[in-house]
Structure 1
Amino acid sequence: MFVLTVDQQRSTSRGDAVPDLIGHLEPLVRRLPGVRLPLERTVGDEVQMVLTDPRSTLMIVLEILRVGGWWIGLGIGAVNDPLPEHSREASGPAFVRARAAVERAKTKAASVPLAVVGGGGAVERTADVEALLRLLGAIVERRTPHGWEVTDLLRPADVRTDGGGEPPLTQREIARILGISEQAVSQRVRTTLWAEEVAAWPLATRLLQEADTWDQA
């Protein structure tokens, strides 16, 4: 199981950003499988969700990093059944680890505000997960608005946040939509490292699944 505990950065100066984050992620959460408890406020400016699907977990993490302004803690492991209606009422090792992870994310010197905590036989695998997620996060955080114009149109339909259901478009179609040349689209794709990011999704998904499986062993 995967528990995300996400805490807002600089809440006193930014104001309450929880409703905006939940609203932004809602179309994506609605599309993704394996969401046991949806994203909701737990206390103050903190939100939490519970998932069973590793790819869905990856997509949510990357989208929160894209939004920016949040510390992300990912806890991997068991949760106590039955799950209650709200995550703030739930318990289990994964919740404890998510809390430890978000606190560690606040203190890490690295630029990507993300930490992952697992347990059991999954400690080494969890470190691999964290390293790869932080690398993907660095790509996402550095993508420019012009880069997102293109990559949003290249994204698979199930991980789009705009509610659209169209399949990924060709670069020619994207050029027509954006009113730029195909060469400009190709340049943006290369600059955004989109192909490299997508190529790493299966590895990240597999590592997440293995960390969860090994924790249960």
Structure 2
Amino acid sequence: MANPSHDRDPGLVLGFERTVGDEVQAVARSAGLVVDVVLWMLRRGGWSVGIGCGAVDEPMPASPREAAGPAFVLAREAVEAAKSRQRMVPLAVRGSDEGAALDAEAVLMLVAATGARRSAAGWEAVDAVEEAGGTRQEDVAARLGISQQAVSQRLRTALYDETRAATRAATHLLTTAHP
């Protein structure tokens, strides 16, 4: 995924803002955007990610630092859990529906772990296909200067179709985690 627009994305209710030390916080209306941002952050490394799926008190303030509600309590629990675990993927999800939140966490960890094991060539093919937005593999191959068969092989090895399906499942589960 390309660098998500942190401030102006229409899926964000409140844009990303530094809260304490190395922590940032935002409020999103779209589970799909949450998944995209989480995977983008985990791909770059250095982040412990906590997702809280719950209600936010109204009226909505101008800053996520001023916001309150169950979503923020759940997010705090999640980020503490993510930081305390010795896992390859420093991620935790907490939600109003605990089962759905834990299922979303499991799926997101598998997607992120799969991405962490991709080769540079695999990422090159995945990024090219994502940026092309549905363009035929032949066109992606021409852009990368390799054969269509090489693109296909790279995508298979990178588990591209499988991670796309899992990403859709994670989006659904995050939505379910806060009905």
Normalising to structure 2: TM-score of the pair? 0.91
Gap runs ≥5 in structure 1: 1-23, 161-165
Aligned equivalents of 1:190, 1:167: Cα separation in 2: 18
User: What is the aligned partner in structure 2 of residue 145 from structure 1?
Assistant: 120
Deviations 1:136-190 (A, max 9, x none): 11112222322221111222xxxx5xxxxx5322111111111112221111101
SS at match of 1:70: coil
Distance 1:212 1:47 in 2: 21
The whole-number CA distance in structure 2 between the counterparts of 1:60 and 1:91 is: 22
RMSD of the TM alignment (CA)?
1.9
- How far apart, CA to CA, are the structure 2 residues paired with 1:73 and 1:93? 14
Counterpart of 1:66 in structure 2: which amino acid?
A: R
Deviations 1:40-62 (A, max 9, x none): 21222211111121111111111
Q: Which runs of 4+ in 1 moved over 4 A?
A: 28-31
Provide the rounded CA distance (Å) in 1 between the counterparts of 2:59 and 2:46. Answer: 33
The answer to whether the Cα contact below 8 Å between 1:98 and 1:116 also exists between their aligned partners in 2 is yes
Question: How far apart are residue 30 of structure 1 and its match?
Answer: 4.4
The residue number in structure 2 matching 1:125 is 100
Give 1:193's aligned amino acid. Answer: L
Letter in 2 for 1:89: E
Quote the residue 1:199 is aligned against.
Answer: 165
Distance 1:190 1:29, change over 3 A: farther
Provide the residue aligned with 1:208 in structure 2.
Answer: 174
In the alignment, does 2:109 pair up with 1:134?
yes
Do the aligned residues in 1 keep the contact of 2:50 with 2:77 (CA within 8 Å)?
A: yes
Identity within the alignment, %: 47
Unpaired runs of 5+ residues, structure 2, are none
Alignment partner, residue 12 of structure 2: 35
The separation in 2 between residues aligned to 1:29 and 1:208, in whole angstroms, is 22
Whether the 8 Å CA contact 1:153–1:168 is kept in 2: the answer is no
